[in-house]
Amino acid sequence: MKRTIAIVAGGDSSELVVSLRSAQGLYSFIDKERYNLYIVEMEGHRWEVVLPDGSKTPIDRNDFSFMENGEKKHFDFAYITIHGTPGENGILQGYFDLLGIPYSSCNVLVSAMTFNKFTCNQYLKGFGIRVAESLILRKGFEITDEEVINKIGLPCFIKPNAGGSSFGVTKVKTKEDIQPAIEKAFKESDEVMIEAFMRGTEITCGCYKTSDKEVVFPITEVVSANEFFDYGAKYNGESQEITPARLPEDTAERVRLLTSAIYDILGCSGLIRIDYIITEGEKVNLLEINTTPGMTATSFIPQQVRAAGLDIKDVMTDIIENKF
């Protein structure tokens, strides 16, 4: 009997549109001969299933069920592809845990920790992993331009601490831009991270593990046409993405080993993607961890799967079946 899979998309952040695109990608990747697939759209209190005829019907939040042709249907598994709250920060994971529905991503604790960039980086710093100097600013607190310059320096990145990296991020080069950048980041998150700029080669590496295998994908090098890898670079083709990355093999191997180690240190589950920057002297510096990475046809993970010579359909089956 086919399992019924919910591809859960949408969310309550600026990345809603990106999430819906990832849902379409997943719908095309997952084996329809093996699973019954439905996209579930969440936005605030609107939770709806997209039926095969394109119409939408509400989800019963008491048990995550829905009605189709007069029949009550339940999901066997949820593939979470919400980039932001409530799907990337542990909230939805807690809901599915309460209902006993297995899901694709990391558990509540890991999701919450990785979603909070400052907390995650400081935690991993304790394991000897290199991260940029940074500080956290919470809503209601202020910081002077001089404090930012003295503690972090310029240029620096000012970004939402809890959220994705597509919105609210500014590369700040001048004193005059500090406060406007903080204000912009606060529109996306109640916490703002101010992080030192690191000059180098930006890369990203995907990974997943099951009970009987470990897969670390080929590394992608990101060459943005913009100041940094912003929304335009990610989704409007304003970057060059090179897989495998142009790295010395010993550096690439260190990145792959570090990716696998971070996966285990945190206790990750499902597909993750870790972003790094390689600075002078081939030093590997962690940028951030994505536990619900983008899954459009042109996203990094599908690119890396192809470069590895794997079938994305098999990868999706691994992720789903490992939860049963």
165 is catalytic: yes
Partners of 39 in beta bridges:
7, 50
Three-state DSSP class for 50?
strand
Non-local (6+) Cβ contacts of 213 within 8 A are 318
- For residue 290, say whether it is annotated as part of any ligand binding site: yes
Q: Contact, 86 vs 92, CB < 8 A?
A: yes
15 is catalytic: yes
Q: How many CA atoms lie within 13 A of 307 on its CB side?
A: 21
Integer-rounded Cα Rg, in Å, for the chain is 20
Q: Contact, 131 vs 121, CB < 8 A?
A: yes
- For residue 288, say whether it is annotated as part of any ligand binding site: yes
Q: Which of 13, 14, 19, 299 is catalytic?
A: 299
Q: Is the peptide bond before 86 cis (omega within 30 degrees of 0)?
A: yes
- For residue 43, say whether it is annotated as part of any ligand binding site: no
166 is catalytic: no
Q: Is the peptide bond before 244 cis (omega within 30 degrees of 0)?
A: yes
Closest CA to 271 of 88, 16, 100, 3: 88
Measured distance CA(211)–CA(321) in Å, rounded: 10
The sheet carrying 77-80 orders its strands as 56-58, 46-50, 35-43, 3-10, 77-80
Q: Which of 14, 105, 134, 165 is catalytic?
A: 165
Q: Which of 14, 15, 189, 269 is catalytic?
A: 15
Binding residue positions = 275, 288, 290
The set of catalytic residues is 15, 165, 299
Binding residue positions for Mg(2+) = 275, 288, 290
